[in-house]
């Protein structure tokens, strides 16, 4: 049985001429409450992975006291064109406190 943890809406865009991978975090919804108040202080963490190792990480801002945060934030990673097929992105929603 799988627990309902919520959803994250994001988009990926790779610009090969610039070697830039952009993860745009749009919003999250129906997140699990992690604070005693019945809300959370969520942010999104994106990690650039290669061969099981984290190469780089980026984070959004923290949205206080919400289970349905809206971000509209771009997280940019420099990824050379010859490396783009050897990397992956891991996205996690984390409660600040």
pTM of the model: 0.91
Q: Which residues pair with 84 in a beta bridge?
A: none
Which class in CATH covers the domain with range 7-95?
Answer: mainly beta
51-57 mean pLDDT: 94
Mean pLDDT computed over 81-93: 94
Q: What is the mean pLDDT of residues 71-82?
A: 96
Share of the chain above pLDDT 90, in %: 87
On the 0-12 / 13-18 / 19+ scale of CB atoms within 10 A, 49 is middle
Model confidence at 27: pLDDT above 90: yes
Domain residue ranges of the chain, discontinuous segments joined by +:
7-95
Does the pLDDT value for residue 3 go beyond 80?
Answer: no
Q: Which of 77, 74, 49 is nearest to 60 (CA)?
A: 74
């Amino acid at each position: 049985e799988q627990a309902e943890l919520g959803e994250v809406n994001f988009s990926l865009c790779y610009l090969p001429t610039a070697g830039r991978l952009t993860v745009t975090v749009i919003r999250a919804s129906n997140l699990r409450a992690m604070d005693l108040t019945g809300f959370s202080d969520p942010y999104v963490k994106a990690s650039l992975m290669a061969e099981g190792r984290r190469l780089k990480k980026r984070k959004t801002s923290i949205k206080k006291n919400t289970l349905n945060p809206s971000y509209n934030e771009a997280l940019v990673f420099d990824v050379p064109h010859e490396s783009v097929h050897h990397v992956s992105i891991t996205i996690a929603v984390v409660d600040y406190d």
